[in-house]
Chain A
Amino acid sequence: MASQHLDQTVEHTEGQHQEGMTKGKIWRVFFYLLALTALEFFIALVLVHGGVIEKTMAVNVVYIVLTLLKAYYIIAYFMHLKFETFGFIMSVAIAFVLIIYFIVLMLTEGGYLNTHYNPFPHWDNPQ
């Protein structure tokens, strides 16, 4: 009962920040996500698999940028984080600074292992 009562009061007195996500807007975000995914497939299938461009680091960077864009739309609109208070957004987002550090750290480490310590046997591809 107590928790039910709490839910009620929160919803009625403070929970009135649901502006922003109407049905129309939800579908618009869906089409953004769909368009971004379609673009990724276009690059992967038509351009790379079709032999128009080589799969280089630049292509991977494009993939990752598109992925981060999709992540932004999902978090900001579907998960509604964009409409929360600044303090709450920061309390969730700040921690990911550590992830950026972790990425840099581990990829540097991986690259080092590749160039300085690579005893694994491998064969040339006959193709």
Chain B
Amino acid sequence: MSTTVTELDKVKTGRWNGGRSPFNVEYGKIMMWFFLTSDAFTFSAFLIYYGSQRFAHMTWPDPDKLFQSIPFVADYGYPLVFVGIMTFILIMSSVTMVLAVEAGHRMAKKEVVGWMIATIIGGLMFIGCQALEWTHLNHAGFWWGSIPSQEGVSPEVTLAPYFSKEISEVSALQFANLFFTITGFHGFHVSIGILLNIIVLGMTLANVFERRGSYLMVEKVGLYWHFVDLVWVFVFTFFYLV
């Protein structure tokens, strides 16, 4: 018997030649990524519709004038400060989440618990801030299908404080609908994220991952949590800055 291996019998060692995981990512994590991709499409569709509405109207409410309050501090005169605080909270909670994942790689249960609790607190603070923001806009008269109005007063007058250029009822109405829909959908995602974080925190405390030998589940909810932060980066830009 010859010991030379023919070209055909040679064992192939390429990434896609079998015998190993080509992506080198655990199944659940791949599925989380694919779910997030599809979710990104949903958010993209929302934000692109918002963009196309802005392009379709010759005037639009000025975020600089709409968002001027800091709850419990000032009702008027501080544009974008409160949303800045919200953005900071969310970025911060994203950092504590990566730190939890990093601690998970070292199997350091105590640190995972600490960082997860910090992340959950950050999420709750963000949701709280968003509730205040909604309440403020709602008191001003904005809601789904409604804009500030007064009996017998022209919209030209009631809407004037929110516009820098021409004033339009339709623009204001579209803005109100899209603002509450998109930030609402994002807030819904944050709420789900907090819930998932609490579940994973409970599992960590119950030593589930310790026994399993890996903190992969922390990574998976971490992916979701970063996605929520990522969406906020875009919502923030298109609703508050542009």
Which positions in A face B, CB cutoff 8 Å? 4, 6-8, 10-12, 14-15, 17-18, 21-23, 26-27, 30, 33-34, 37, 40-41, 44-45, 48-49, 60, 63-64, 66-67, 70-71, 74-75, 77-80, 84-85, 87-88, 91-92, 95-96, 99, 102-103, 106-107, 109-111, 113-114, 118, 120-127
When distances are taken between beta carbons in the complex, the residues of chain A under 8 Å from B156 are: 123
Given A10-B26, A11-B216, 18 additional A-B pairs, CB 8 A: A7-B216, A10-B21, A14-B24, A15-B26, A15-B216, A33-B91, A44-B80, A44-B241, A63-B242, A78-B94, A84-B24, A88-B23, A88-B25, A95-B41, A113-B56, A118-B57, A125-B160, A125-B163
When distances are taken between beta carbons in the complex, the residues of chain B under 8 Å from A48 are: 64
Is B170 an interface residue, CB under 8 A from the partner? yes
Which positions in B face A, CB cutoff 8 Å? 15, 20-27, 30, 33-34, 37, 40-41, 44-45, 48-49, 51-59, 64, 79-80, 84, 87-88, 91-92, 94-95, 97-99, 101-102, 105, 154-156, 160, 163-171, 211-214, 216, 219, 222-223, 226-227, 229-230, 233-234, 236-237, 240-242
Interface of A: prevailing SS = helix
A23 touches B167 (CB 8 A): no
Residue of A70, A87, A109, A123 with most chain B CB atoms under a 10 A cut-off:
A123
